[in-house]
Amino acid sequence: MAVKVRIELNSDGIVELLKSQGVKDDMERRAKNVAVAAGGEPDYVGEAWIGKDRARGTVRTATPKARSDEANNRTLTSAVDAARQ
């Protein structure tokens, strides 16, 4: 016999979790892993910050050489799996 389960989410708690230092640290670790897999600094830079609603991470090209490499070879696209480590 199936049992009905009711889940009630605590929105304030979820926002607090998404903006926590632990989540930011994890996002930064993942962003840096992708940057290293793409070729590392100074060409690729991984960063994280706490935004309005949640922690966010990004990897960006920091040099003209990296921008050209990304445009021609899709280096960041190829390195995205490193975020899963």
Q: Does some domain include residue 3? A: no
Q: pLDDT > 70: what percent of the chain?
A: 100
One-letter amino acid identity for 25? D
Identify the bridge partners of residue 44 per DSSP, sorted by sequence position.
61
**Ranges of the chain with pLDDT below 50:** none
Q: Does some domain include residue 60? A: yes
pLDDT at 55: 96
Domain total for the chain?
Answer: 1
pLDDT at 74: 94
Q: Whole-model pTM?
A: 0.83
Please check whether residue 34 is in contact with residue 82, taking contact to mean a CB–CB distance below 8 angstroms: yes
Q: Does some domain include residue 4? A: no
Q: Does some domain include residue 26? A: yes
Arithmetic mean of pLDDT over the chain: 94
Q: Does some domain include residue 1? A: no
Print the domain residue range for 18.
Answer: 11-84
pLDDT at 16: 94
